[in-house]
Amino acid sequence: MGIIYNLLYTLFFPFYLLLFIFITKKKGYSPELKERFVLYPDNRSRVLWFHCASVGELNLSKPLIKYFTGKHRILITVSSPRGKEYAVKNFPEAIIRTLPFDFPFLIKKFINTYTPEVLIIAEGELWYNLIDVSSKQIPVISINTRISPSSYRIYRKISPFIKNILKKFRLIIARSQTDYELLKSFVHENVVLCGDLKFVSSIGEKNIEFEKKGKILIAGSTHEPEEKILINVFKKLKEKYPELKLLIAPRHLERVPEVIKILEKENIPYSLRTKTKIPETDVYVIDTLGELSAFYRYADVVFVGGSIAPVGGHNILEAILQNKPVIIGKNYEKISDTVNQLLPEGIIKIAKDEKEIKEAVEYFLNISGKDIDFKKISENIFKCYLSNIKKVLGDSL
């Protein structure tokens, strides 16, 4: 299977590389080709290696990175330029590198440069040579491992290949009971269930400069057409709740100009986070990276995006763990286990369209908040992760 993968990867690589460079530069980032081909000198060794594809995985892994910093030298690799930028800013004590392209000789060169003790991969990123080459020299661990329904359907069609990859992990920690069962259908050994690490990583710690005025509706991690829908909802509710404010945080910052066009077309005054910390307008666009979870503490109601748009949903726990009511759309298959776990608590509503979103926002604006103690859940999940990772490392609790 590895031979077929490497033949196909090599065959399509020139086309992928050109497309990758074009798209990356178009977004205003450097393709980091020197790092992706490991064309740099470095002699730091004996590191604990975390691979986090982008910002979401970095935030997910933060509690583990924070715990092991000081006990081990930390190396973090990322796949995306946005992730690299975020990692450099938020993990100053770690070595930050862009993951090499998935050729065996590049992975070997990278491992020889840093001689890691272990590789910890966030959320089941299955680069074949990264896992295959690394597993021959060091233990490889997958944390918060998830398999979406769409991925599972694909994996079933290439079952021998997926089984071959998963068997190379020393330890796979599943995110949910559903993920655990799906993983066990491919590999029987070294799969454990600890729970969603986002119950730990989503607890807000960051303080921001912001002054709350009136009721606040936050539209977080939004995609097209979610901003337009939430702006329409806001306009309608503003008549009944004149003190209502709307904060919009697009999932991808490159879409901020698109959001601004919608607001200007609707003749709605707005402020940008990068321009002012204390907005005087009723609509505030959060055009910064890494602040959304801190803004949730000021919210009265939160809509989490990627759920009306066919994305599958984004992290709802950043808001939920601060006891903020959350509204999502009907496309939430990526977070369905978390949603189903929390629906009975009455802190989540699922809305299929603009009308139902408006009704849900109004419902939450008119009821008193509900305090749920998530501390014990978070502590148990984190202990489970630490104990299993330490067993692989050979550390004692």
The dihedral sign for the CA sequence 278, 284, 288, 292: positive
Distance CA 52, CA 61 (A): 8
Of the candidates 110, 107, 61, 52, the one whose C-alpha atom is nearest the C-alpha of residue 83 is 52
H-assigned helices in 27-166: 33-36, 55-68, 81-90, 104-114, 128-135, 149-157, 159-166
Residue 217 DSSP symbol: E
Distance CA 96, CA 301 (A): 36
| DSSP 3-state of 95 | strand
Q: Is 264 a catalytic residue?
A: no
Length of the chain: 397
Q: Rounded to the nearest 10 degrees, what angle do helices 149-157 and 159-166 cross at?
A: 110
Structure tokens at 287: 């055009």
CB 123 within 8 A of CB 151: no
* Selected catalytic residue, list 32, 35, 57, 189: 57
CB 339 within 8 A of CB 314: no
Residue 101 DSSP symbol: P
DSSP per position, 274-334: TT-SS--SSEEE--SSS-HHHHGGG-SEEEESSSSSTT-----HHHHTTT--EEE-S--GG
For residue 253, with 0-12 CB atoms within 10 Å meaning exposed, 13-18 middle and 19 or more buried, which class applies? Answer: middle
Distance CA 161, CA 44 (A): 34
Instruction: Pick left, alpha or beta for residue 261 (phi over 0 → left; psi -120 to 50 → alpha; otherwise beta).
Output: alpha
Contacts of 32 (CB under 8 A, 6+ apart): 81, 84, 98
CA 343 to each of CA 143, 163, 327, 379: distance values in angstroms, whole numbers, following the listed order: 25, 34, 11, 21
Q: Which residues are catalytic?
A: 57
